[in-house]
Structure 1
Amino acid sequence: MNLTDTQRRLLAFLREHIARHGYPPSQMEIAGAFGFRQNRSARYHLEALAQAGLIELSTGRARGIRLTFSDSEAAASAMPDGLLQVPLLGRVAAGSPIGSDPEVRRELTLDPSLFRLRPDYLLEVEGESMLLDAILPGDLIGVHRTPQARNGQTVVARIEGELTVKRLDSGPRHLRLLPRNPAYAAIEIDRTVVDFAIEGLFAGLVRPG
């Protein structure tokens, strides 16, 4: 399947937007995200994806885009055999939580053997709280999207709208996010925390050369 880099990025953007918001982006939002000067540029690339059988377009609807393949099928169709194309979405703190910036920065084509779980997206690490787990500043960590995690797993969590990567410490009466660097304190998740969610599991990492 001959897709351009822009069309592969657009397919990943559609998947991520629908997963995050529950509905597809408008052509205006696509144009803004990709820096297109006109909506018709977005339409051109959408029509290419439709001709490839990856999406369906409904005329007369502002968000008339429907994925025709599942995430895994679409990724497999667009990628060279055996490789993954994974979007880099923003940053994650290995320290105090930082705000996420979930626009697709770019996509990387990666060997799946780099990861213990299939990554849905990548985040760039800032901070040194996970040094003892060999997660370093500048690493790109793969995140396997799931709202569930077991005690002791390394997770990406959202706290009051901000993201952090930590080791999960959960019990009948407590929930904490543990750093892997003694210079950092644990984060207690108690009744004062209004917005908390597990965004996904640490799936592995890529260390830019």
Structure 2
Amino acid sequence: MSRPLTARQQHVFDFIVKTMGEFGYPPTRAEIAKALGFRSPNAAEEHLRALERKGVIRIIRNTSRGIRLPNQEPQDLLDSAVTTLPAANIEAAPAGLPVIGEVAAGSPILAAEHIDRYCPLPAEYFTPKADYLLRVRGLSMKDIGILEGDLLAVHRTDRVRDGQIVVARLEDEVTVKRFKRQGHQVTLFAENPDFAPIEIDLRSQPLDIEGVGVGVIRGGNGQALG
């Protein structure tokens, strides 16, 4: 850090760290502006550029959540390509995070037949650590930058909080949505106005949480984004 942060810059930086710790990805400019009382996302952008000049964050241009912390940038690993899993010997899989493709109805998400390949990123690259990468299908989460063909880094847990991005199993379907619960009622929200929320009554409908999203790899090519 070349110069100390101003009080306002420190508030912005603390909010970024808090958001990444809770949800696994950084906030948008609009979310920073709303949380800290700025008049517009442009004011948030000015503070982000100041933080970048002081060396405490790195900004990925043209990305709504393109904020990274310098100590989360193992570039040598990010530049590595996703490796293909040898078809004849699943037990001899290379090190790294398994990439899950199509999930067969009713079978465990980490079943060997679902693993397409391995990505040479350590689990600890994400916070909390990732257990697997799930290939995204469709555009229901496009407004927060989770696009068709991306790899969603997932931390395996069934303990989730309102607002988190979850991998949920609804009977035989696995879906990625934003989670909210009120009593026995769970709502899974898409981040695309073309998709209606999914309403689940836990008293009569099954719901299994396979994990929470902790990061995105754009297009599955090894370029990790926030």
CA 1:101–1:109: 2 relative to 1, 3 Å? closer
Question: Hey, what's the Cα distance between the residues in 1 that align with 2:116 and 2:214?
Answer: 20
2:159 to 148, 161, 169: 148
SS of match in other structure, 2:143:
helix
Higher strand share: 1
Contact kept in structure 2, 1:161 and 1:195, CA below 8 Å: no
SS in 1 for 2:139: coil
Matched, 1:35 2:35: no
- Distance change in 2, residues 1:101/1:110 (3 Å): closer
Give the deviation of 1:193 after TM superposition.
Answer: 5.6
Is 1:183 aligned to 2:194, yes or no? yes
Cα RMSD for the two superposed structures: 3.4
Q: What corresponds to 1:130 in structure 2? A: 141
State how far apart, in whole Å, the 2-side matches of 1:127 and 1:101 are. Answer: 21
Q: Per-residue deviation at 1:177?
A: 0.3
Mapped to 1, the partners of 2:141 and 2:172 lie a distance apart of: 21
Do 1:126 and 1:138's aligned partners in 2 also have CA atoms closer than 8 Å? Answer: yes
- Asked if 1:119 corresponds to 2:130, the answer is yes
**Partner residue, 1:88:** 99
Tell me which amino acid in the other structure corresponds to 1:35. Answer: A
Does the Cα contact within 8 Å between 1:160 and 1:196 map onto a contact in 2?
A: yes
Using the alignment, how far apart are the partners of 2:147 and 2:211 within structure 1? 19
1:131 offset after TM fit, Å? Answer: 1.0
Q: 2 CA distance for matches of 1:91 and 1:133?
A: 22
2:170 matched to which residue of 1?
159
- Assess if the C-alpha contact under 8 Å between 1:160 and 1:193 holds in 2: no
- Note if contact 1:159-1:193 (Cα within 8 Å) is conserved in structure 2: no
The count of residues paired between Structure 1 and Structure 2 equals: 132
1:6-85 matches, within 5 Å, as: 34-35=87-88, 85=96
Offset at 1:150?
Answer: 0.5
Q: 1:193, 1:137 → 2: CA distance?
A: 32
- CA shift, 1:111, in A, is 5.6
Contact conserved, 1:129 with 1:181, CA < 8 A, in 2?
yes
Distance 2:123 2:214 in 1: 10
Query: How far 1:174 moved relative to its partner?
Result: 2.0
Equivalent pair of 1:114/1:206 in contact (CA under 8 Å): no
Aligned-pair identity (%):
38
Alpha carbons 1:91, 1:101 under 8 Å: kept: no
For 1:188, give the aligned amino acid: E
C-alpha contact (below 8 Å) 1:115/1:205 kept by paired residues:
no
- Change in CA separation of 1:147 and 1:126 when aligned onto 2, cut-off 3 Å: same
Q: Is the 8 A contact 2:99 2:117 kept in 1?
A: yes
Distance in 1 (alpha carbons) for counterparts of 2:184 and 2:217: 35
TM-fit CA distance, 1:171: 1.2
TM-score by length of 1: 0.54
